[in-house]
């Protein structure tokens, strides 16, 4: 028996890891190395050292084990802009996700990017640092 719509490469399907904010809500998904928003659009990527960058190549923060995206409030430690990878295909986020794990409290010197500064992770067609078309 042959299935018409069977995935020819089931082992190549990437696992989506939910990325939580400090309130316990899922605000992003990681299909390593790409980050996607709740609708499946590409919003950034993660380096092997767990640094998080926007779709335009700007440093956003770092990925914790919980997993959350945090950054230091002090902006003097920003990293240089990197060349973004080729945009991935849109993903289909799952209908349900596991509840958030217990997360440690963060100090005032740390910012939860998805909760306090979600505009840092935007799609390619948005964002204040986007190139003008003129």
Name the residue with tokens 């945090």: 70
119 φ, ψ to 5°?
A: -65, -15
Q: What is the pLDDT of residues 29-53, one digit of tens each?
A: 999 999 999 999 999 999 999 999 9
Q: Residues of the chain whose pLDDT is less than 50?
A: 1-12, 133-134
CA distance 92 to 55: 19
The tokens of 107 are what? 């100090």
pLDDT of residue 21: 96
CA distance 23 to 18: 14
pLDDT of residue 1: 37
pLDDT of residue 126: 67
């Amino acid at each position: 028996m042959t299935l018409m719509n069977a995935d020819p490469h089931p082992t190549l399907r990437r696992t989506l890891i939910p990325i939580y904010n400090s309130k316990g809500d899922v605000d992003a998904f990681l299909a390593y190395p790409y980050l996607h928003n709740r609708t499946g659009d590409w919003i950034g990527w993660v380096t092997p050292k767990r640094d998080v960058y926007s779709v335009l190549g700007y440093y956003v923060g770092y990925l914790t084990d919980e997993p959350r995206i945090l950054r230091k409030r002090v902006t003097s430690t920003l990293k240089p802009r990197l060349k973004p990878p080729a945009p991935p295909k849109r993903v289909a986020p799952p209908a349900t996700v596991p509840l958030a794990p217990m997360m440690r409290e963060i100090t005032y010197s740390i910012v939860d990017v998805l909760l306090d500064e979600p505009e840092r992770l935007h799609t390619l067609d948005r964002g204040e640092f986007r190139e003008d078309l003129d």
